[in-house]
A and B are shown apart, each in its own frame.
Chain A
Amino acid sequence: MLSPVNVSIESLNLMTLVPMLIPIVGALLILVIDLFKSEQDRSLYVMLSLLILGVDFISLMDSASVFHKNGTIMGVFDVMLIDGLAILSQFIIVGASMLFIPLALTHKRFHEFSYPEFFALFLFMIAGFQFMVATDNLILIFVGLETASLALYTLIAMHNRDKSFEAAVKYFTMGALAAGFFSFGSMIFYALTGSVEINQIAEVLSANKYADIGFVLVGVVFLLASFGFKLSIVPFHTWTPDVYEGSSAALAGYMSIVPKIAAFIVAMRIFEFLIHSGVVWLEVILYIFVVMTMTLANVWALVQTDVKRMLAYSSISHAGFVMAAILIGTTQSNSALFLYWILFSFTNLGSFSMLWISRQKNLPAHQQSDHSYNKFAGMIKTAPVAASIMALFMLSLAGLPPFGLFWGKMYMVSSAITGGYTVLALIMVLNSAIAGYYYLKLIVYMFMREPIMEDSGHIYSANATLPLKTIIGIAAIGTIFAFLAINQLLEFITMFVYNSGY
């Protein structure tokens, strides 16, 4: 006979689930509305999603203040783990989603946005990512990861072009492979330690002094490969440019930010204790991955002829740059990761949105791809404001002060120096110098070449509507005036990271 489980509701701490439940309930609500009255205008769904995400954001602020007072909270049979990392990353996830969702209100009609399912899936995806970061249970991480990924594959495919099907299938295949790797890795760790909780795995492993180092190695390799796919670390990056090219520019920008921060958090939780375990080869493997990702992605970005593909490679390189934070593994570097990613999300969403508003419905005959460099030639003559904003984003991505990303870069390099990785710091800055070239290339096309498009600058804002312009305006202001907010951000982030023990 099973004895009745006796658990008081209070000890479950169901409040920890609230931030994830809000988007799920919201998604169901959208589906229900569709049941009652279908064929509604997309603006309804956009605004509803925005509201739901806003509520989600507020509930996050609430849990942030609870964390500030009481420290880390566990809940729901200690499966949920609400620590500083979870809260900070959820802020980024929800915040970036709020910046993304109004991009659906384009001037031209893209049919994916007319389905309520798009928005429902979008909200489910966010809930998945939130679960992923707010736990250290490998099973729940897996569930969150798969929920989010499956939703994302569908969102890509809904763009409904030949290339987007290709992209979705490619992403799906790679994602399935990554999921397989992840479950294998988790299985090995479970076999070694008898637990699926990362902190208990760490305890058991350090208690027996990494006796089964061979198995740990195999497990780490599987997990690393899995995160390699998700974070598009070289050599697991090959899907990234194709998938970005196939999906709409807005979604590509979103993919370069939100799924990656979620994966970074999990990687940070898993590799943090492994790095500090004193096992040298792990550090070496990670070091090699970081340097390869930064450098090779940069070199590939140099030779691209399409701006979107260039940005795809550049976002791989940025991911490698941020991966260095996990390698360094100090409080400063982990804070730098968050600072970098917050600033990066403004700038990168901005630059992808600039591509998005210049997107034509159908590809003109003389153009090879949607966003070739040639399309932007002489933009300063025909659309000076758009060109200046685009240039601003490029300069920020290149790490030119005082624009947003410079501060993230600077703090990251500083954390490398403080952590004793001087050579890494030099490699990081030299990579920034290489990256300068391809960002500059777009500026050269925009500002120094003669226009080759005959129509007078209209194509650069063909898709622009007030909501899109607002988003770009927010991104631009965030990029320019970042230096005013760095201090508060840094204090806030450092406190949260430090208090959760990273």
Chain B
Amino acid sequence: MLDHILSILIFFPALAAMLGFVVHKDSMRSYGVAVATIEFALSLWLWFAFDSTVSGMQFMEQIALVPTFGINYIVGVDGISLFIVVLASFFTMIGIASLGETKDIKNLIITLLFLQMTMAGVFSALDAIVFYVFWELSLVPMLYIIGAWGGPLRIYASVKFFLYTFAGSLVMLVGMLFMAYFYFQATGEWSFAILDWYRLILPESFQLWLFAAFFMGFAIKVPMFPFHTWLPYAHGQAPTIGSVILAAILLKMGTYAFIRFSLPLFPDASVYFMFPIAILAIIMIIYTAMVAYAQKDIKQVVAYSSVSHMGVIILGTFALNVEGITGSIFLMIAHGVVSGALFFLVGVIYDRRHTKYMSEFGGLAHVMPRYATIFGLMMMASVGLPLTINFVGEFLSLLGFYKQSHILTLLAGTAIIVGAIYMLAAYKKMFFGVVTKEENKHLPDVNKRELIALIPLAIITVWLGIYPKPVLGTINTSVESVVSLMHEKAQTQEAKSRIPNIAKEASAAKNSVEEAH
């Protein structure tokens, strides 16, 4: 069974969703929770069975799909994707478990289970077309979630979300087809397998174009600075569960794809575009942080702060060294946990008051002490307080980029201070002072169902903040192999010097140890 665990992880929720049509709507919630728990248990099993000393792909499966055209169903995980797969099933589980009372709960849970299939698929696909299939398929459930359960502008928001991402990924598809054609020219065989592509060394001019084509798809998904306009709408209109999954998992598809595709396939182009992308990332960090400060709606604050932190992830990724990439992958998980939790928390207050304006609140700390505590913790984590999960990722990402450019890292670092300002301001407005509104005087504190989601997230936030090693070590092993692959493939002098040679560093370290003896 372990041989096929990835396929089971991908298709079990889809099968369960199909059978879910038969389940009576009163029992649907229990059914959903049961299925998602099994899925999460399977993903945990995957983690325990995962050998963290191996840097390559594990649990690989291969089934021929369209062998004449080089398309095969290939899945596998390494340290880079493992934790995101686990995180996805975790969020589906707590998301379904903490669902509030909504209309059509049966359809919502079925949709969420389909979404879980696509998420597991994207992060474990090792064939570009299979990746693309899941990548595009993930749009449909999200479209439905935003469009059917969202706020007043839901149709506009959902269609904008869909079309924006759809257009970007079609350009990416052209890039993929080009890549396969290059592979065909080089070897005489069609192949869309990513691991085959890794072996291909492309001339720099082609790399630049292909990088740009892939960039369109990924940057819109992340979303990076000029393409971010769909996200505030999507978050603003989506129901709580939609925002949580979107921020925690779906956005990570873009940053994950950068590491899976762009860096190892186009090392020279990655170096070439390093500074332009870093500047975009820094604009993204600073600009969205400032926009977040200007928001009146707490959900928009969280949404913009989530975009802002995605900038740090991009910055870490394009540090192109082990510290930066490891940090950015860790930050993906951290960002998933923290911003997911923040969206949950916003959902809690929205369920009670049906408003998201901060001016409507004030003094909530007296009325809802437990809520205020958890919100405070998550907010501290979001601004990157040491000993919380975000700090580890942000620190490593910035450390990685510090090796490439001091001044840009400094700019990014100041932005984190801006982050602290708007978050603390928002917290002050909502929780401190006296209770001004009559409606707020008797709000019930967080209930058991909400705690199911929030307590595990709080525990992870602190646990991985204090002791990140079990996760970090596994990530590090795989990242090292990616970086050394990039160094080997790099052709330009610039790229060779920007991407560190791990083998040399390791031997140098060994030598120095021997000298010390």
* A-to-B contact residues, CB < 8 Å: 380, 395, 398, 400-402, 406-407, 410-411, 413-414, 417-418, 422, 425-426, 429-430, 432-433, 436-437, 440, 443-444, 447-449, 483, 486-487, 490-491, 494
Contacts and interface: CB of A to CB of B under 8 A. Distances in A.
B66 A429 contact: no
Given A414-B180, A425-B174, 18 more contacts: A400-B137, A400-B166, A401-B137, A410-B129, A410-B173, A413-B173, A413-B174, A417-B174, A417-B178, A426-B171, A437-B159, A437-B163, A440-B159, A444-B159, A448-B148, A487-B65, A487-B67, A487-B69
Interface in B444-476: none
A443 B158 CA distance: 11
B155 A448 contact: yes
Closest 8 CB pairs of A and B: A433-B167, A429-B170, A401-B133, A448-B147, A414-B177, A487-B66, A402-B133, A486-B66
Contact of B181 (A380, A395, A402, A417): A417
Nearest to B209: A422
Interface residues of B, number: 35
Contacts of B67: 487
Contacts of B50: none
Contacts of B167: 430, 433, 436
Contacts of B163: 433, 436-437, 440
Contacts of B140: 395, 400
Contacts of A402: 133, 137
B136 A447 contact: no
B155 A444 contact: yes
A226 B180 CA distance: 38
Contacts of B144: 447-448
Contacts of B158: 444, 448
Interface in B46-76: 64-69
Contacts of B261: none
Interface SS, A side: helix
Interface in B155-189: 155, 158-159, 162-163, 166-167, 170-171, 173-174, 177-178, 180-181, 184
Nearest to A449: B155
B154 interface: yes
A433 B172 CA distance: 12
Contact of B177 (A400, A425, A449, A494): A425
Contact of A430 (B133, B143, B170): B170
A406 B65 CA distance: 14
A430 B139 CA distance: 17
Contacts of A406: 133
Contacts, number: 93
Given A414-B181, A448-B147, A487 B173 contact: no
26 contacts: A380-B107, A395-B140, A398-B166, A400-B137, A401-B136, A407-B66, A410-B173, A411-B69, A414-B181, A417-B181, A425-B177, A426-B174, A430-B167, A436-B163, A440-B143, A440-B159, A440-B162, A440-B163, A444-B147, A444-B158, A447-B148, A448-B144, A448-B148, A448-B158, A487-B67, A494-B68
A398 B67 CA distance: 25
Contacts of A417: 174, 177-178, 181
Interface string B124-161: 00000100110011011001100110000011001100
Interface of B: 64-69, 107, 129, 132-133, 136-137, 139-140, 143-144, 147-148, 154-155, 158-159, 162-163, 166-167, 170-171, 173-174, 177-178, 180-181, 184
Contact of A490 (B68, B139, B143, B181): B68
A433 B181 contact: no
Nearest to A425: B174
With most chain A CB atoms within 10 A of its CB, the pick from B129, B162, B166, B178 is: B166
Contacts of B129: 401, 410
Contacts of A418: 181, 184
A444 B107 CA distance: 16
A158 to B, nearest CB: 40
Contacts of A410: 129, 173, 177
A145 B170 CA distance: 37
B166 A433 contact: yes
A486 B66 CA distance: 6
Contacts of B180: 414
Nearest to B180: A414
Contacts of B170: 429-430, 432-433
A408 to B, nearest CB: 12
B147 A413 contact: no
Contacts of B147: 444, 447-448
Contact of B166 (A436, A443, A494): A436
Contacts of B64: 487
A414 B71 CA distance: 13
Contacts of A486: 65-66, 69
Contacts of B173: 410, 413, 429
A118 B322 CA distance: 73
A400 B136 contact: yes
A494 B67 CA distance: 14
A414 B174 CA distance: 8
Nearest to B132: A401
B106 to A, nearest CB: 10
Contacts of A414: 69, 177, 180-181
Contacts of A380: 107
A494 B190 CA distance: 15
A499 to B, nearest CB: 16
Nearest to A385: B21
Contacts of B155: 444, 448-449
B199 to A, nearest CB: 21
A115 B150 CA distance: 52
Contacts of B139: 400
B157 to A, nearest CB: 11
A487 B66 CA distance: 5
With most chain A CB atoms within 10 A of its CB, the pick from B154, B159, B184 is: B159
Contacts of A490: 66, 68-69
A407 B140 CA distance: 18
A487 B178 contact: no
